[in-house]
Structure 1
Amino acid sequence: MWNIMESRGVSSIIFDLDNTLVDTAGAGLIAIQKVCELLKSTHVQESHIKDICDCFLRKLRHESFDPSEGKTIDEVRIHHWYEALQETQGTDPDPALATNCYYTWKKTRLQVLTFSPEVRSLLEELRKNYKLLLLTNGDTQTQWEKIEAARCEGLFSLVVVGGDHPEQKPAHSIFTHCFESAGVRPQDCIMVGDSLSTDIQGGINAGVRATVWINSDCKSLPQGSVTPDYTVPSVLNLNDVLLKLR
């Protein structure tokens, strides 16, 4: 088996999770819509609802979570909703409403965060010939909840969540941990992900054989950014890249 893999030039594929294997952005839109429906059933002015949700999303994008501060990620994000309600309406909201908004958003997002049948089929086929690794950045609780929701069991030889380690992508150390834990060499691996700054830069830093950028929006490569070896619109196009690497 090793000789067969050597002849292909690649024996292992490292995947990012969010917006690479699962449509986290799309799931987030569905979750926000569900919160909008919830808010319409309350005393909140309908004209405020979009602004409340937009405010929450801004706070989420700029979130800085440190578990050593003694709060859970759930508590931090409930507070995002509380502040979004407060700042938009100009009054102190009912804390129960902020809590309800958060758990509606969280539950809905996790319900739709699953591998599509096509992605699952691709992974099941790839694992027959390649060692598959999952390497995702993010808070420990949040990412493991996503991994459980996506039903990743049996698809990957190794699953690594950045929040469990001192450094996350693009740090060299977390890639080294993956290589050593999976028993693979950097030059035997490719890195597949949607983020130029973490997935692609991290793969280059770690010395993988090739990097594959998932560019689902067909964006132009930003000026001054790192350059991936391959660019595809979807992870479903990965076989085209693997054929070139044989």
Structure 2
Amino acid sequence: MVLDRVRAVFLDLDNTLIDTAEANRAALKEVIKFLQSKCQLDEGEAHVICAKVQLKLSKERYDPAAASITDLRISHWEEALRETKGGPADRNLAEECYLLWKSTRLRHMTMTDDIKTMLLELRKEVRLLLLTNGDSQTQREKIEACACQPYFDAIVVGGEQKEEKPAPSIFFHCCDLLGVQPKDCVMVGDTLETDIRGSLDADLKATIWISKTGTLPPNPSPIPHYIVSSVLELPAILQNIDHEASVSSLKRTVKHDV
């Protein structure tokens, strides 16, 4: 593969390079088994506790000035346990649940060999940058767990910047790190409202949305340039983007000459 028009590719981490959703499911299964054996809860109650934690995580607003991410997430488990079981708060049990959930989740956050091979081949042609939202501790732990650092020229964690995706500023920061212009870059991610909207607002060359179910973007929503079911389709899409850019440039040249 030879790419002339695409100089850099920004890739999201969660559910793009690693299957965070599946890792989370595996972690919750372990916690459910733990609660059944440790607290003699039935499976239904254990499921309810985990569902409550999932809801709290989905609504989480983390302020590093108020508490550590560890304390905040232990509190999620503490509240879910109290809301479901009743009785006094059990901070120790909540901490056990959190640590089991976290360690199991991280253990399942791996990049497949196919993805590693793809990144190695791509890096021969373009510069690669990992761009992920989230607080520094959580995302850095994931990055270490999946050992993805050697495959990238730079890594940017949103929680370490003034603004996260979809703010255009973080995309411009990534361009500055690699010494490229937005029109040289392609963004790949699974989230329309952050990965796709942000890169469109920053005027990147192209956006690639990963839709594992094959569904189209709901209306209204940002519309990506390309939709794929797997990040492994990326090399073929990049070749297509590069070809279209070359043809467009040739047409402009011919028109100018005429």
- TM-score (norm: length of structure 1): 0.95
1:169 matches 2:165:
yes
- 1:68 match: 65
From the superposition, tell whether residues 101 and 45 of structure 1 become closer, same or farther in structure 2 (CA, over 3 Å).
Answer: same
1:80 matches 2:76:
yes
C-alpha displacement at 1:105, in angstroms? 0.3
Report SS of the residue matched to 2:212: coil
1:23 matches 2:19:
yes
Query: Is contact 2:149–2:155 with CA below 8 Å preserved after alignment?
Result: no
Report SS of the residue matched to 1:218: coil
- 1:145 match: 141
In 2, the alpha carbon distance for the partners of 1:34 and 1:14 equals 33
Q: Who wins on radius of gyration, i.e. which is larger?
A: 2
Cα deviation per residue 1:103-125 (whole Å; 9 max; x = unaligned)?
00000000110101111111111
C-alpha displacement at 1:44, in angstroms? 4.2
- Mark the runs of 5 or more structure 2 residues left unpaired by the alignment: 243-258
Moved segments of 4+, more than 3 Å:
none
Identical columns (%): 45
- 2:252 match: none
Cα deviation per residue 1:79-123 (whole Å; 9 max; x = unaligned)?
000000000112224211100000000000001101011111111
- 1:128 match: 124
* One of 56, 59, 65 as aligned partner of 2:53: 56
Moved more, 125-134 or 40-49: 40-49
Q: Quote the RMSD (CA, aligned, Å).
A: 1.1
- TM-score (norm: length of structure 2): 0.91
* Number of residue pairs the alignment of both structures matches: 240
C-alpha displacement at 1:43, in angstroms? 2.2
C-alpha displacement at 1:219, in angstroms? 2.1
In 1, the alpha carbon distance for the partners of 2:5 and 2:40 equals 58
Report SS of the residue matched to 2:150: coil
**Counterpart AA for 1:131:** R
In 2, the alpha carbon distance for the partners of 1:36 and 1:49 equals 5
In 2, the alpha carbon distance for the partners of 1:166 and 1:43 equals 43
